[in-house]
Amino acid sequence: MDRLLGRTALVTGAARGLGAQIVKRFAEEGAHVIVNDLNIAAAKETATKYGGDAFACDVSDSGDVDRMFKEIASRKMEVDVLVNNAGISGLEGDNQAEERVKKSVMIAEAAIKGELPEIDPPILEATDAAWSKMLAVHLNGTFFCSRAFVRNLRKNGSKPETEPAVINMGSIMGTSGGAGSGAYCAAKAGILGLTRSLARELAPYQIRVNAIAPGYIHTDMTSPMAEMFPLLMAQTPQGRLGEPDDIAWAAVYLASYEAKFVTGQTLSPNGGWYMSQ
Ligand SMILES: NC(=O)c1ccc[n+]([C@@H]2O[C@H](COP(=O)([O-])OP(=O)(O)OC[C@H]3O[C@@H](n4cnc5c(N)ncnc54)[C@H](O)[C@@H]3O)[C@@H](O)[C@H]2O)c1
């Protein structure tokens, strides 16, 4: 308890899923929480539950991000923990989502049997727009929010216990790769590179920057992938998918004073699915 007392934490894409659980644990640890999301009604609900504030903003739009940070500052709040969590799977609103997941399973099963898949490689169906949107939300969003965060930090230094921290949401897909999800994997790999670069750049300013690379976690994002779950569980030494709390505690640790010597790292709660980042 109280590991984040006195901190103000902005979590993007936190109306639901991993972000909402991070907000819950941060609030329990004493932080004032700011919930960002595209979906402001849901963001407000989450914020109200944990005594925080809610701000709508599309993280892929730099003007919108700068406006949000200005609004936060104008309300006399100083964000000293930023969690760049907002993200998309690319399956949102896609009426072919089930079909696409099925194809990924078919390709994986063919590979296991050493057979040539009967369907074309998914890259042939990937559009320019889908590629650009994926990179815009994950990678541009992480860059825009990190820049605005640093710009808005108070300039007169901080005590070690309240050292500013950035936590970027990567994924095991950023290092392992994943068939049929090239844009997602590229965006997450980019986030890991940006994390390491910013960690070096910002260490002299006493700002820590780390990433979390979750394995497969039960959220609304992964529910359309249910057909893949048996395969994923069979590949996971711990034999299960993760729960949002498995990720929230990693975020609490990386934001807290306990992680004072940790920067540029990727913490990967994934049940053993992937063992090196
Ligand atoms: N669930 C998993 O298995 C898993 C695994 C690895 C990484 N991740 C990553 O964790 C993060 C959260 O995933 P989740 O499973 O909680 O997803 P989710 O779909 O449940 O929640 C994502 C939230 O982000 C918001 N959002 C989307 N685009 C936005 C934008 N442009 N600006 C602001 N908000 C936006 C959505 O409205 C939603 O509330 C994502 O970055 C995701 O890629 C998830």
pLDDT by residue, tens only, the chain of 277 residues: 899 999 999 999 999 999 999 999 999 999 999 999 999 999 999 999 999 999 999 999 999 999 999 999 999 999 999 999 999 999 888 888 888 888 888 888 898 899 999 999 999 999 999 999 999 999 999 999 999 999 999 765 567 778 999 999 999 999 999 988 999 999 999 999 999 999 999 999 999 999 999 999 999 999 999 999 999 999 999 999 999 999 999 999 999 999 999 999 999 999 999 998 5
The pTM of the full predicted model, rounded to 2 decimals, is 0.96
CB 249 within 8 A of CB 25: yes
Listing DSSP states for 10-37 in one string gives: EETT-SSHHHHHHHHHHHHTT-EEEEEE
Residue 157: other Cβ atoms inside 10 A: 10
CB 199 within 8 A of CB 214: no
Residue 244 main-chain phi, psi, to 5 deg: -50, -30
Q: At what angle do helices 141-151 and 182-202 cross, to 10 degrees?
A: 20
Q: What does the alpha-carbon distance between residue 15 and residue 52 come to, in Å, rounded to a whole number?
A: 12
Give the number of the atom of ligand 1 that is nearest the alpha carbon of residue 184: 43
CA of 160 to the centre of ligand 1 (A): 30
Task: Report DSSP state, residue 140.
Answer: I
User: Best of 12, 16, 18 to mutate for ligand 1, by most ligand atoms within 8 A of CB?
Assistant: 18
pLDDT at 223: 93
Order of strands across the sheet with 53-56?
53-56, 32-37, 8-11, 81-84, 165-169, 208-212, 266-267
Catalytic residues: 184
The structure tokens 């949002």 sit at 244
Domains within the chain, CATH numbers bracketed: 8-91+128-220+240-267 (3.40.50.720)
